[in-house]
Amino acid sequence: MKITKIEAIPFAIPYTHPLKFASGEAHVAEHVLVRIHGEDGIVGHAEAPPRPYTYGETQAGIKAVIETIFAPQIVGLDVFDREKIHARLNRTVGNPCAKGAVDIAVWDIVGKVLGRPVTTLLGGYTDRMRVSHMVGFDDPARTVEIAQRFKETYGITTFKIKVGRRPYTLDVDVCRALRAHLGDTVDLYIDGNRGWTAAEAARALKAMEDLDLLMAEELNPADDVLGRRWLVGRARIPFYADESVSRPAEVVRELLDGGATAISIKTARTGFTYSQRVHFLCESLGIENYIGNQIDGQVGTMASLVFGAAYKGTAERAGELSNFLDMSDDLLAEPLRIERGELTVRDLPGTGVVIDEDKLSRYRCDT
């Protein structure tokens, strides 16, 4: 099944509840829908969410690299020749989200050609995942209100709290309020998006020692190599690398350097093929990982779910699969529904993504 055409369609959907964090803010989902056409009219889909403050990619840049560099290199290749496709994509450095989306759209076609759900082709462990919700910067009372609402409405009991503000006590107060109001009915963990210094992060962790946090993520920059190693050595909970590990080689480097003790996997930046390699690497090394969220819309969330449900290790931990709930609308013909704190994979060939073409026409911004 040869690839015949690739489209990179920019679209924009506003958030009803913008997400604010140490490295940036998301008010409008200005993402790119990647659509790969195969022979016989089979189409694969994926969503690329640009994060300029994390990987340097922009919406216009993702569209340009896919249409002007990737498409001429891979149109005409067979979707089953994935290693060859990646060898061509990897002639270009960087651009993780553009590459990730191309990879996922190719897998979507592979599943459709074989008539099997991609989650089964990847691993086939389960058909569902527990959902963790990521809450942005806010004051303690509003954060408690949000967590309570998500718990009651969707059954979500795991929350990631964005931290990294100054003074660090702003974030400590939020975490303390969550624990005080929700008790041990919830799991809590924190993500600093590199906002603190190693010393601030160490003080914050000490101040939250009694809050029974599950883990901490990217509290300070991984580029502060010795500071990071010092911090990770003192942490009493797993220390996750997220934006510092956008490739398998970076995973190895961070783990061997002592810059992290656990790994966040995001299909938005490593697609399925490289997420699989990262997962197997972690499994072999005895390193825990979970499915993170690149502030994905529903198309991207479906991909995270398909991957996370495929493996025992990723399915055992709650995955970050709910921030599409903060968007005013989305592109899926049949919206995702979180029930009793879980999302279920669709029993359809491919990834299960079916696009609402009317919505795509309404939100695309290239016409």
- Between 9 and 219, CB nearer to Mg ion: 219
What residue 175 binds from ligand MUC, Mg ion, none (CB within 5 to 8 A, per partner kind)? none
Among candidate residues 127, 266, 276, 342, the one labeled active-site is 266
Residues in 72-101 at the binding interface with ligand MUC, rule: CB under 6 A: none
Q: Is 342 in the site for ligand MUC (CB under 6 A)?
A: no
Residues in 111-140 at the binding interface with ligand MUC, rule: CB under 6 A: none
- Between 171 and 191, CB nearer to Mg ion: 191
Among candidate residues 162, 187, 200, 298, the one labeled active-site is 162
Q: Is 320 in the site for Mg ion (CB under 5 A)?
A: no
Q: Is 201 in the site for ligand MUC (CB under 6 A)?
A: no
Interface residue with ligand MUC, options 171, 242, 254, 342 (CB under 6 A): 242
Kindly state the number of chain residues that form the binding site for Mg ion, as judged by CB under 5 A.
3
Nearest distance in Å: CB 111, Mg ion:
28
Is 359 considered catalytic here?
no
Is 294 considered catalytic here?
yes
Interface residue with Mg ion, options 127, 191, 200, 330 (CB under 5 A): 191
The CA distance from 313 to 286, in Å, is 10
Q: Is 51 in the site for ligand MUC (CB under 6 A)?
A: yes
Residues in 180-199 at the binding interface with ligand MUC, rule: CB under 6 A: 191, 193
- Between 85 and 251, CB nearer to ligand MUC: 251
Nearest distance in Å: CB 309, ligand MUC:
20
Nearest distance in Å: CB 356, Mg ion:
29
- Between 103 and 191, CB nearer to Mg ion: 191
Interface residue with ligand MUC, options 100, 140, 238, 292 (CB under 6 A): 292
